[in-house]
Amino acid sequence: MPGFLANLFGITARRRQRLRAQPFPQAWLAILQKNVPYYAKLPEADRKELEGHIQVLAAEKNFEGCGGLLMTEEIQVTIAAQAGILLLHREPHYYPGLYSILVYPHAFVTEGYEELAPGYRLETEQVHLGESWQQGSLILSWDDVRAGAADIHDGHNVVFHEFAHQLDTEDGHADGAPVLPRRSMYIAWARILSREFQNLREDKRRGRHSLLNQYGATNAAEFFAVATEYFFEKPRQMQDKQPELYEELKMFYQQDPVRLLS
């Protein structure tokens, strides 16, 4: 069995290498220039790396239109580009637990409940821009994908958010602690992210302003996803106000968005 798995991984690596080596379609380049302004901010080498990631993600993931949305190359490339940005400069595993990307035309509604007291629940309807599941699927609103990609300075990007959840769960746990390059990094990661998470919870409890969206106070997994959005889109503000958090994310993502967006 180990030999079979090694052979399988070797086949996958060679297939991905071939995909990355293919000429990038001009039609896809036009989509990036129109829909993903972050692409233009990248150095030439990073743009080429990202193009390769887009080709792998477009080939390996099942993109499916839902709610009457017709799947197009524009949708695939716009989503794959933003998902690929999170993989730059790192050993890309291409979101191994993710198989299907379901895209609705607009924000979608799911049924839920609110626990009022033991044994008493209030049924609710919740509006979502995206959802990430550990069972292999991710859901996005196309309207919000486009809006998040178009403004690279507002700190809101549903693709960054949901794909950060995918990175978080690569070890099987949605706990705000993705797989780090070295075991020695976990101590500082836990200390700094836990502290900043608790600070955000306290800001929310007291009604105080905070840099990060206070949805990140929901739990550690949401904190990591929200912090990822701000790291890429409001890096200067994060570096100024939460420098240790910025440095931890910089170390994990192997990128320095301050230099790109300044």
Place of tokens 């609710």: 124
Contact 47, 37 (CB under 8 A): no
Task: Tell me the residue type at 116.
Answer: L
Task: Tell me the residue type at 26.
Answer: Q
What's the pLDDT score for residue 121? 52
For 100-126, what is each residue's pLDDT tens digit?
999 999 976 555 445 555 555 544 445
Domains of the chain, first to last: 1-152 (1.10.472.150), 175-262 (3.40.390.10)
Please report the DSSP string for 183-200 in residue order. TTHHHHHHHHHHHHHHHH
Counts of helices then strands in the chain (DSSP H, E): 12, 6
Task: Tell me the residue type at 99.
Answer: Y
- Please report which confidence band the pLDDT of residue 10 belongs to, taking 50, 70 and 90 as the band edges: confident
The CA-CA-CA angle for residues 215, 245, 132, to 5°, reads 40
For 17-52, what is each residue's pLDDT tens digit?
999 999 999 999 999 999 999 999 999 999 999 999
Contact 61, 166 (CB under 8 A): no
**Best CA proximity match to 224, nearest among 158, 168, 181, 179:** 168
> Mean pLDDT, the chain, as a whole number?
90
Residue 164 has pLDDT above 90, yes or no: yes
The CA-CA-CA angle for residues 174, 175, 181, to 5°, reads 95
pTM: 0.89
- Please report which confidence band the pLDDT of residue 6 belongs to, taking 50, 70 and 90 as the band edges: very low
**Best CA proximity match to 149, nearest among 229, 227, 38:** 38
What average pLDDT does the segment 66-75 reach?
Answer: 96
**Best CA proximity match to 155, nearest among 84, 199, 102, 216:** 216
Residues 70, 109: Cα–Cα separation, whole Å: 19
CA distances from residue 193 to 90, 115, 223, 227 in whole angstroms, order as listed: 21, 28, 8, 9
